[in-house]
Chains A and B, each alone.
Chain A
Amino acid sequence: ETGVTQTPRHLVMGMTNKKSLKCEQHLGHNAMYWYKQSAKKPLELMFVYNFKEQTENNSVPSRFSPECPNSSHLFLHLHTLQPEDSALYLCASSQENLRTDTQYFGPGTRLTVL
């Protein structure tokens, strides 16, 4: 295991639902990331938090809302999603958001939007 856990591992939701993805890291890191991985497409960086402050929002639609209450926890709140948002959502952490830091990924949440 990498020290990064994500829950739930699988989620099916309707377009009108509100749900949240949770990520927790046990590595003492200060930077956390959300990525989206769609079939046959490269990983897409969504959000970056460094010392609980959001440092990157990669033009993500407002139906995705991140929250980082402390350096160990990261949430992704979902509401009124579209079927094309179905994907694997990966959380990662690193010591800091330095360009040579190794990122440790969680196992991901497989999201299906009906």
Chain B
Amino acid sequence: KNQVEQSPQSLIILEGKNCTLQCNYTVSPFSNLRWYKQDTGRGPVSLTIMTFSENTKSNGRYTATLDADTKQSSLHITASQLSDSASYICVVSLSGTYKYIFGTGTRLKVLA
């Protein structure tokens, strides 16, 4: 069954600290993996997109990694800010289709 699992479900960190969010997937055949940030009451915003051949991609303080062999991805946030408080969603798309499998997200709260 095609699934995307994210951990932890929620996370609280202090401003300025780093954190890492995890995404494990069983989607096959794999096309690409995306990370989105969703603020409360808003639509998701794309952070990174990685294809099979890419194992890291950065967007400012956000760095995503992909291990296609173990089917794992992580999103590392450096020097967190209050504005990083949001849900982070991992999405995997199936090769040969237009289907996207979404994770349930990790809710991050950054405290001052």
Contacts and interface: CB of A to CB of B under 8 A. Distances in A.
Interface residues on B, range: 20 to 34
A24 to B, nearest CB: 14
B22 interface: no
- State the main secondary structure of chain A at its contact with B: loop
A7 B27 CA distance: 34
A41 B87 CA distance: 12
A4 B93 CA distance: 22
Contacts of A107: 41-43
B96 to A, nearest CB: 9
A100 B45 contact: no
A48 interface: yes
A43 B42 contact: no
Contacts of A97: 98
Nearest to A40: B104
B98 A56 contact: yes
A64 B44 CA distance: 22
Contacts of A103: 46
B93 to A, nearest CB: 5
Contacts of A56: 98-99
A87 to B, nearest CB: 13
Given A42-B101, A42-B102, A45-B100, 18 more contacts: A2-B45, A4-B43, A40-B104, A41-B104, A42-B89, A43-B91, A43-B102, A56-B99, A58-B99, A91-B43, A99-B31, A100-B32, A100-B49, A100-B51, A103-B46, A104-B46, A105-B44, A107-B42
Interface of B: 4, 31-32, 41-46, 49, 51, 89, 91, 93, 95, 98-105
18 contacts: A40-B104, A41-B104, A42-B89, A42-B101, A43-B102, A44-B102, A48-B98, A56-B99, A58-B99, A90-B43, A90-B44, A99-B32, A99-B98, A100-B32, A105-B42, A105-B45, A107-B42, A108-B41
